[in-house]
Amino acid sequence: MRRREFIRLASGIAAILPFAASAQQPAKVPRIGVLWHAGSAEQEGTNYKAIVKGFADIGYIDGKTVTLEHRFPNEQPAQFRSMAAELVASGVDVLVTVGANAPPYAKEATKTIPIVFALMPDPIGSKLVKNLARPEANTTGLSNSASDIVGKRLELF
């Protein structure tokens, strides 16, 4: 009887062991690339503070639960292009772009990494998205002055 009990015990351990090993794997910390338009965090001012605080407010603490990779191209087209490519090559999980100039460079740099734009004046007119309701591809975001919203504002007025 002892031999049968030993075999059952060994079989049970062998069946459970793969699950125990996978449960001990450390969680991957998401990496978010942020492509700004100014030359530094100080020049971005309240927008920079708002993004960092906004992530923290929903539980994403920079350096703990998420890694924010900031790039500041200082409104230089060549730097937008190289910094967007650098963020994509580094393997960020999401690209966040701030301002009107950054999103097209991010879209040019990747077709697979999700891109979220903020403070983009006219994403439809700039051909960043085809439609705000269904942006398609890997690009989406917020705009407060898109061309299709202007008509609705006039209706309300």
What average pLDDT does this structure show over 137-147?
77
What confidence score (pLDDT) does residue 105 get? 94
In a domain? residue 118: yes
In a domain? residue 51: yes
In a domain? residue 58: yes
In a domain? residue 84: yes
What confidence score (pLDDT) does residue 9 get? 52
> What is the total count of domains within the chain?
1
What confidence score (pLDDT) does residue 52 get? 92
pLDDT digits (tens, 9 = 90+) for 68-111: 999 999 999 999 999 999 999 999 999 999 988 999 999 999 99
What confidence score (pLDDT) does residue 8 get? 55
β-partners of residue 62 are 66
Burial-class residue 134 by CB neighbours within 10 Å (0-12, 13-18, 19+).
Answer: exposed
- Supply φ then ψ for residue 55, to 5 degrees: -60, -45
Q: What is the mean pLDDT of the chain?
A: 83
In a domain? residue 16: no
Instruction: Give the global pTM.
Output: 0.75
pLDDT digits (tens, 9 = 90+) for 21-53: 555 566 789 999 999 999 999 999 999 999 999
Domain that holds residue 147: 31-153
The dihedral region occupied by 104, where left means phi > 0, alpha psi between -120 and 50, and beta the remainder, is alpha
The CATH number of whichever domain residue 74 belongs to comes to 3.40.50.2300
pLDDT digits (tens, 9 = 90+) for 118-140: 888 888 888 888 887 787 789 98
In a domain? residue 10: no
Residue-by-residue DSSP string for the chain:
-HHHHHHHHHHHHHHHHHHHHHHTSPPPPPEEEEE-SSSSHHHHTHHHHHHHHHHHHTT--BTTTBEEEEE--TT-HHHHHHHHHHHHHTT-SEEEEESSSHHHHHHHH-SSS-EEEES-S-TTTTTS-S-SSS--TTEEE--SS-HHHHHHHHHH-
In a domain? residue 76: yes
Helices 77-89/102-109 angle, 10° precision: 40
In a domain? residue 21: no
pLDDT digits (tens, 9 = 90+) for 52-69: 999 999 999 999 999 999
What confidence score (pLDDT) does residue 130 get? 85
